[in-house]
Amino acid sequence: MLGYFDDENAEYVGYDNSVSIDKQSLIGLQGDYLFNDSLSFTAQVVGHTDEQRNSGLEWLYLTYAPSNAWQVKLGRQRIPFFNYSDSLDVGFAYPWLTLPQQFYDTAFFSTFDGVLANYEFSYGDWLLSYEGYWGRFDDKIYLNSQEINTKVIGLFGVNASIYYDNLTLRASFNQGDVDIEQTQAAEFSQLLRQLGFTNSADWLNASGVIQLYHFSASYENVDYFVRSEFSRFDGKSGLVADIDSFYISVGYNFYPYTVYLSYSKKNLHFDHPDNEIPFGISTELDTLAATYLGVLAAFPDDKAAGTKIGMRWDYLANLAFKAEMTFVEAKDEISNDYAVKDLGGFDGHGVLYQLGVEWVF
């Protein structure tokens, strides 16, 4: 992976204003052990060069597949939020060099420990697939430029996919009860509650239910493809944002090359309540109000769009080269928790140039 971001005042997916080769590179190793025809064990470790991605064990599970139709997995797995959530690191599996970040950047945790079951059957010419999972997440997440202990319990999701010829539709619903360790915010919230500012105190809470809705539609044939995904992330607590995002990509194949154009957009926003702490009554209250507004400012909305144009060259059956340009557009404030990092004075526009090699072995 080789990349260069053309604006010196910002970083995008870890690339800055110098040519770097060590940002998104990774190596994954997977081991499968078959006990018999229906029972197997899988382990996968991934090593990242990107400091925002944790290296280590991504998969560790048992698979029981009594027939073609049923599959049950038990252990540590990727959460199937989106179409490519379980294959983020298999760049060979998708046309883009970097997945549409304004969409794929929004899932702040990616693995769970639990059980996942999948049932597939055909109905006439249609193929239908149902999937459900249940489990928990207990690890560190990367937020506010630091690693934060996070626990998600009661995490579950259901999704259904319909395949008809080269058309694929998928819809999913996911829910979990999140507990993000935010000691300072929690202490401040307690203080506000003691002083009677319960709305503000309630809002300064990073723990609560999250829900994610997802829909995708894709069509592809020998000549071209259209892929799209839409999602709505609903954070019920104040410090967890709501996010609406989507992408749409179209591509044209002229074997062994594929050229594509992609547009993705993210609207991350908080429901900031009106300030209930009065100003100008006492110095203490003024300080309290200022602190409260300071905390609000640490959780800014984040709106961004990305347009990609790129090419994939399938040189061998297991080796592909990719080249991609991403035009990044960030609006208003930038939270710095996601793909775009404002290093100071970023005007909100930049272009990322990337070259990459994908090899599966």
Partner 1 sequence: MLMFLLNCMQKAAADHIVIVANVDDKSIKLNRQQIRNLFMGGAIPHKLQAIALSPDNESRLLFNTKVIGLTESRIQSFWAQMRFTGRKKEPKEIDSESELLEYLKNHQGALGYCRSGIEIPSELTVLLTIN
Q: Which residues bind partner 1 (CB under 8 A)?
A: 28, 30, 32, 40, 42, 44, 59, 61, 63, 68-69, 71, 73, 78, 84, 86-87, 89-90, 92-95, 118, 120-122, 125, 127, 163-166, 220-222, 225, 253, 255-256, 258, 312, 314, 317-318, 320, 360
Q: Which of 204, 210, 173, 169 is nearest to 190 (CA)?
A: 204
Cβ closest to partner 1, residue 35 vs residue 279: 35
Residue with Cβ nearer partner 1 (191 or 226)? 226
Q: Is 327 helix (H, G, I), strand (E, B) or coil?
A: strand
Nearer CB in complex with partner 1: 303/308: 308
Residue 219 · residue 231 · CB < 8 Å: no
Nearer to partner 1, 255 or 283 (CB): 255
Give the CA angle between residues 173, 75, 62 to the nearest 5°: 115
Q: What is the 3-state secondary structure (H, E, C) of 110-130?
A: CEEEEEEEEEEEEECCEEEEE
Q: Nearest Cα to 114, choosing from 142, 156, 145?
A: 156
Look at the alpha carbons of 340, 345, 349, 352 in this order and tell me if their dihedral is positive or negative: negative
> Residue 63 Cβ, how far from partner 1 at the closest point, in Å?
6
Our CB check for partner 1 shows the closer of 19 and 34 to be 34
Decide if 26 contacts 44 (C-beta within 8 A). Answer: no
CB of 136 within 8 A of CB of 114? yes
CB of 101 to partner 1, least distance (A): 19
CB of 23 to partner 1, least distance (A): 21
Closest CA to 2 of 256, 352, 278: 352
Tokens of 234: 């609903």
Query: What is the spatial distance between Cα 251 and Cα 40, in angstroms, rounded to a whole number?
Result: 37
234: which residues sit within 8 A by CB, 6+ positions away?
210, 211, 212, 213, 242
Q: Which is nearer to partner 1, 92 or 156 (CB)?
A: 92
Strand partners, 180: 150
CB of 220 to partner 1, least distance (A): 6
Nearer to partner 1, 24 or 150 (CB): 24
Q: CB of 262: closest distance to partner 1 in angstroms? A: 16
Residue 166 CB, shortest distance to partner 1, in Å, is 5
Q: Which of 351, 346, 285, 358 is nearest to 317 (CA)?
A: 358
Q: What is the DSSP letter of 90?
A: -
> Minimum distance between the CB of residue 323 and partner 1, rounded to whole angstroms?
16
Instruction: Considering the complex, state which of residue 69 and residue 293 has its C-beta at the smaller distance from partner 1.
Output: 69
- Shortest reach from residue 232's CB to partner 1, in Å: 24
Please, which residue, 168 or 200, has the CB nearer to partner 1?
168
Residue 185 DSSP SS3:
helix
Q: State in angstroms the smallest separation of the CB of 158 from partner 1.
A: 17
- Cβ atoms within 10 Å, residue 122: 10
